[in-house]
Amino acid sequence: MNKRKLGTEGLTVSGVGLGCMGMSDFYGSHNEADSLDTLSTAYEFGVRFWDTSDIYGPKTNEVLLGKYFKQHPEQREQIVLATKFGVLRNDQGDFLGVNGHPDYVKQACDASLQRLGVEHIDLYYQHRMDPNVPIEETVGAMSDLVKAGKILYLGLSEAGVDTLKRAVSVHPIAALQSEYSLWSRHLEAAILPACQELGIGLVPYSPLGRGFLTGAIQSRADLDPDDWRLNNPRFSEENFHHNLTLVERIKELAAGKHCTPAQLALAWILHQNEHYVPIPGTRHPDRLKENAAAVDIVLTQEELEQISNALPNDIAWGTRYPEAVMGTLDR
């Protein structure tokens, strides 16, 4: 597995990361043994940039990773571990808003460190921006955690251009984590140029369109009844079959490269910029191996243009979150 740099402060990660959310939440049934096996496979194949959050579960995803590190303590320093704070969720899973107050930042960090069973977090993100707390105050508290040795690098998730500029005036930001994929290209107009200007790396989450772009989901019936995606506009009855036509385009392009649709979608992101590191999520070792192999796919400029033209910006049917959530993004 090759390495890539996030930001300009020295954070180096594997060329493809692993999103751990689905191992504990949101995407239907999950199995701890399979998840632990997937983590072990990720380590073996060099996928050593792991992403979690205190709201996944809630909390149980961090506990899962903590269990893995307890079983494999010798691997901890080889893993770049990222987690997040800021979205509030009770033990029943209800969402209660966001919190960017400095005191809460430090409390959340200590709680994550305890669940993960580690001495420091490599990359700590504010998960969503708090409109009631100036970003300078939140990032200032995160900077204090760096000085205390509890975290190494700072990140923001779903932050807008103005927020990014104000944040870096307080402390360097290594990475912006936002949704970016062949059917979510909204960042290209303003946010990606700002990241380039400010020396911020990009960590695209849902780089495979929440699994849709792999071609493995052919109907809503393929999802568990409690799968969050059933409430996502792009998976709705109205939009699902329209979006399947996008998958067919990806399948055709992938066939021409003798790779899978997932590998093509990841390779396209990897070729956009050397400081972009996608974090596809999976609970299965075979999928992990498939995703990791995307780093070996070489796309020519002509092929990149062909792919981009086949799936231009705003081509997907439906917004990427329900309308009530959309206003909380890119702040």
Question: Is residue 169 included in any domain, yes or no?
Answer: yes
- Cα–Cα distance measured from residue 220 to residue 187, given in angstroms and rounded to the nearest whole number: 28
Identify residue 265 by its one-letter amino acid code. Answer: A
The boundaries of the domain holding residue 242 are 3-326
Active site residues: 56
Question: Is residue 36 included in any domain, yes or no?
Answer: yes
- Report which of 156, 184, 181 is spatially closest to residue 170, judged by C-alpha positions: 156
- Cα–Cα distance measured from residue 224 to residue 221, given in angstroms and rounded to the nearest whole number: 7
Question: Is residue 331 included in any domain, yes or no?
Answer: no
Question: Is residue 179 included in any domain, yes or no?
Answer: yes
In this predicted structure, what is the pLDDT of residue 19?
A: 98
Distances (CA, A) of 152 to 10, 68, 254: 10, 21, 38
Strand, helix or coil for residue 235: helix
CB neighbour list of residue 289: distance below 8 Å, 6 or more residues apart: 41, 45
Counted domains in the chain: 1
In this predicted structure, what is the pLDDT of residue 324?
A: 85
CATH number (domain holding residue 172): 3.20.20.100
Cβ-contact 204, 181 below 8 angstroms: yes
**Residue-wise pLDDT tens for the chain (331 aa)?**
899 999 999 999 999 999 999 999 999 889 999 999 999 999 999 999 999 999 999 999 999 999 999 999 999 999 999 999 999 999 888 999 999 999 999 999 999 999 999 999 999 999 999 999 999 999 999 999 999 999 999 999 999 999 999 999 999 999 999 999 999 999 999 999 999 999 999 999 999 999 999 999 999 999 999 999 999 999 999 999 999 999 999 999 999 999 999 999 999 999 999 999 999 999 999 999 999 999 999 999 999 999 999 999 989 999 999 988 998 888 8
